[in-house]
Amino acid sequence: MEKKKRGFWRWLIASVMLRLILIYLPKTFNLASRPEISTPLVSLRRLAEGYWLKKSSMSPYAGSMYHGSPLLLSLLGPLTVKRIEGQPDHLLCSLVFVIADIISALLIRATGHTLQMAYRQSLNSLDIVDLLKSSDSLSSGDVAALVYLWNPFTIAACVGLSTSPVENLVVILALHGACKGLVPLAAFGWVMATHLSLYPAILITPVILLLGYGPDTPPRKLFLQKGYGKNGDNHSSDNCGQQETNHSKAEVTFSWRPVIHFLFWSSLWSTYVLVLCSISVKPHGSLWEMFQRTYGFILTVEDMSPNIGVLWYFFAEVFDFFRSFFMIVFHLNILFMILPLAIRLKHRPCFLAFIYIAISSMLKSYPSVGDSALYLGLLGLFLDELADMQFSFFLLCGYIGVSLLSPVMHNLWIWRGTGNANFYYATGMAYACLQIILVVESVSAVLNHDRKLRKLSVTKLRDGNS
């Protein structure tokens, strides 16, 4: 155990050293100008422009540069103008992003340990704990944390002067608080994540399920089967009593008390955030302007600059007459998936959160590789369930191929003039298809894992009856 802990901390320190080396490299490969990394919502350059407008006694939302949170502007803005002689520009902001990545990885690790303990207890109550394979390798929480830290997307977002590490941190904070039952922390993370990028608002469903049911468990049908499967057989009264005791321990009921507390704390944090935003924008603007320039900017897809998503090219080509219709269709596409997935995966709320994040990363207005870094890091929390997932090697090769082809196609289109927008958009379409395959196959793998648990539980019951 101590050896595994030392190994984890070595890899963590190495990832920090790699980030610091890349920060000190000249120009850092111009990652800050890459459309896959810096979007209108997460670009630090735009944030610096908004802070300059604010210091010039103008609204930070004047013009069309900054569309982020005024709180983030107050936090990172002063760091963008401070220079240390002989050090890289925006060094302080880069260090903030490195710290955010470290904290996110540690929270993912703690969440993974919580999920693993809860899942082991559930299997133990079903007498099928032998399904978990004991291994000398790292736990799923450690693997997920290291995957997040060493993911090239995470490193690129951190070094490329993108605010994605901060947004990912508050999302992970909400999930960690919900898994641990820390209601104020979960509410704070969810409110801040929604405030920063709007799309995490859909995570209220898995957060409520986590608080109500607890961390991920096998389907409730298995517990009911374990509790009542032998009632029709002839066995001793001692076995009946032991069986009912196991059922009472295993049965999971929804608890409304933490959910009510979560709604209360969410209302409290939301009010507090709105008050702070009002104070921040009051000298040169209003809350209504903030909503228009942030959430309105996201929902109306005003900026048509290229990114790794699929909406920019579509809305650049669609007729203005149909623009409002297709905007509604694309945004409702995310909402339509919330309820069916919640019904089918309510026993696995943390995995449900991973699916929601992957879907929103694919269909959001201004996606970046930082969004993909978040759900790919969370994917490592479910190593046991996804052990039999199909097309894993194909997905790995696809992500690598898209990562290499995207800058090439962008260069052919923008700088060399030997291509056109279709070249770059094709990589975005391929990237979206890979994310669709990942979501479909991961859900299928988890459901197949649940079926295996059910078959194993039925076998145990039959063996016990014979």
Distance CA 23, CA 155 (A): 10
**Long-range pairs for 419-424: beta carbons < 8 A, 24 or more residues apart:** 421/306, 421/313, 424/306
Task: Give the number of other CB atoms < 10 A from CB of residue 145.
Answer: 29
**Long-range pairs for 451-459: beta carbons < 8 A, 24 or more residues apart:** 452/131, 453/123, 453/126, 453/128, 453/131, 453/218, 453/219, 453/222, 454/219, 454/221, 454/222, 454/225, 456/128, 456/131, 457/126, 457/128, 457/222, 457/225, 457/226, 458/225, 458/229
Report residue 458 as tokens. Answer: 């039925």
Distance CA 291, CA 260 (A): 27
- If residue 132 lies in a helix (H) or strand (E), which one and from where to where? none
pLDDT at position 245, please? 44
Read off φ and ψ for residue 162, nearest 5 degrees.
-115, 145
Distance CA 141, CA 143 (A): 5
Hey, CA dihedral for 81, 86, 87, 88, is it positive or negative? positive
Distance CA 449, CA 347 (A): 13
Distance CA 260, CA 240 (A): 37
Nearest of 110, 246, 128 to residue 181 by alpha carbon: 110
> Which residues lie across from 162 on neighbouring strands?
43
**Long-range pairs for 399-402: beta carbons < 8 A, 24 or more residues apart:** 399/434, 401/430, 402/427, 402/430, 402/431, 402/434
Cα 437 to Cα 355, 391, 433, 440, 441: the distances in Å are 12, 8, 6, 5, 6
Helix 320-336 vs helix 349-363: crossing angle, to nearest 10: 170
Distance CA 334, CA 299 (A): 12
172 neighbors 196 (Cβ within 8 angstroms): no
Distance CA 355, CA 341 (A): 9
pLDDT at position 396, please? 93
Per-domain residue ranges of the chain: 2-298+371-383+449-465
Look up residue 346 and give its DSSP letter: T
Over the chain (466 residues), the average pLDDT of each successive run of 10 is 75 94 78 89 92 89 88 91 77 93 96 88 70 61 93 93 94 95 96 95 95 79 54 42 45 83 96 94 85 92 90 89 90 92 92 95 93 94 86 93 93 86 92 95 91 78 66
pLDDT at position 228, please? 43
pLDDT at position 131, please? 55
Look up residue 203 and give its DSSP letter: G
Cα 414 to Cα 306, 367, 417, 421, 424: the distances in Å are 10, 20, 6, 9, 10
pTM of the model as a whole: 0.90
Nearest of 44, 52, 48, 50 to residue 66 by alpha carbon: 50
- If residue 63 lies in a helix (H) or strand (E), which one and from where to where? none
Amino acid at 177: G
Hey, CA dihedral for 23, 24, 27, 28, is it positive or negative? negative
pLDDT at position 133, please? 54
pLDDT at position 235, please? 43
